[in-house]
Chains A and B, each alone.
Chain A
Amino acid sequence: MPLSIRRRLLISLISAIAISWLIAIAFVYAAAYHEVEEIYDAALAQQSRVLATLMTHESEEELQIRQDLRQVMDEAGDELIKRSPLFRQLLKEYLEKGSEQDYLSLIDQQSLPGHRYESKIAFIVIDANNQVLLRSNMPVSFDEFTPGFSERVLDGTLWRTFGLVEPESKLRVQVGEQHAVRQETVANIVFNSLWPLFPALPLIALVIWITVGRGLRPLKQVAVKVERRDPNSLVPISADGVPHEVVPMVESLNRLFTRVQSALDNERQFTANAAHELRTPLAALKATAQAKQLSDHDGEHKNFLQQIVRGVDRTSHLLEQLLTLARMESQSMTMRHLQEVDLCQQVLEELSEIGQRALDRDIELSYEGPERGVNVLGYGPALQILIRNLIDNAIRYTPSGGQVRITILSESREVSLKIEDTGPGIPFEQMNQVFQRFKRGEDVKAEGSGLGLSIVRRILELHHGRIELENLDGESGLRVNITLKKAG
Chain B
Amino acid sequence: MRILLAEDDRQLGEGLSLGLKELGHTVDWVHDGGAALQALNSESLDVLILDLGLPEVDGLTILKQLRRSERDLPVLVLTARDTIESRIEGLDLGADDYVVKPFDLMEVNARLRAITRRREGRAAPIIEHGELSLNPASREVTLAGQPVNLSSYEYAVLETLVTHAGRILSRQFLEECLYGWDEGVESNAVEVYIHHLRKKLGKTLIRTVRGVGYSIARPEN
Chain A partners chain B: yes
- A291-315: contact bitstring with B at CB < 8 Å (1 yes, 0 no)? 1101100000000000000001000
Contact yes or no, A367 B102, CB < 8 A: no
Give A455 to B211 CA distance when docked, in angstroms.
27
Which single residue of chain A is at the shortest CB-CB distance from B220?
A360
Given known pairs A280-B9, A294-B22, A381-B84, the reply for A287 and B105 (CB within 8 Å) is yes
Contact of B168 among A288, A294, A355, A364 (CB under 8 A): A355
Give A287 to B218 CA distance when docked, in angstroms.
20
**DSSP class of A's interface residues: helix, strand, loop or mixed?**
helix
Contact yes or no, B9 A367, CB < 8 A: no
Contact yes or no, A282 B82, CB < 8 A: no
A312 CB contacts on chain B under 8 angstroms: 102
**DSSP class of B's interface residues: helix, strand, loop or mixed?**
mixed
Q: Does B215 contact A (CB under 8 A)?
A: yes
Q: Does B106 contact A (CB under 8 A)?
A: yes
Q: Does A356 contact B (CB under 8 A)?
A: yes
Contact yes or no, A280 B170, CB < 8 A: no
Q: Does A359 contact B (CB under 8 A)?
A: yes
Contact yes or no, A285 B15, CB < 8 A: yes
Q: Does B185 contact A (CB under 8 A)?
A: no
Contact yes or no, B81 A352, CB < 8 A: no
Q: Does A369 contact B (CB under 8 A)?
A: yes
Contact yes or no, B212 A367, CB < 8 A: yes
Q: Using a Cβ cutoff of 8 Å, how many contacts connect chains A and B?
A: 123
Which single residue of chain A is at the shortest CB-CB distance from B105?
A290
Q: Does B101 contact A (CB under 8 A)?
A: yes
Contact of B80 among A280, A359, A367 (CB under 8 A): A280
A352 CB contacts on chain B under 8 angstroms: 167-170, 212-213, 215
Contact yes or no, A348 B170, CB < 8 A: yes
Give A413 to B2 CA distance when docked, in angstroms.
58
Contact yes or no, B217 A356, CB < 8 A: yes
Give A292 to B22 CA distance when docked, in angstroms.
9
- A368-380: contact bitstring with B at CB < 8 Å (1 yes, 0 no)? 1101000000000
| A419 CB, nearest partner CB in chain B, Å | 13
B23 CB contacts on chain A under 8 angstroms: 294
B167 CB contacts on chain A under 8 angstroms: 352-353, 356
* Residue in A291, A353, A355 whose Cβ sees the most chain B Cβ within 10 Å: A291
| B128 CB, nearest partner CB in chain A, Å | 17
Binding site for A on B (CB under 8 A): 9, 11-12, 14-16, 18-19, 21-23, 78, 80-82, 84, 100-106, 166-170, 172, 207, 209-213, 215, 217-218
| Minimum-distance CB pairs A-B, first 6 | A367-B211, A291-B19, A288-B15, A287-B15, A284-B11, A294-B22
Binding site for B on A (CB under 8 A): 276-277, 279-292, 294-295, 312, 316, 320, 323, 348, 351-353, 355-356, 358-360, 364-369, 371, 381, 406
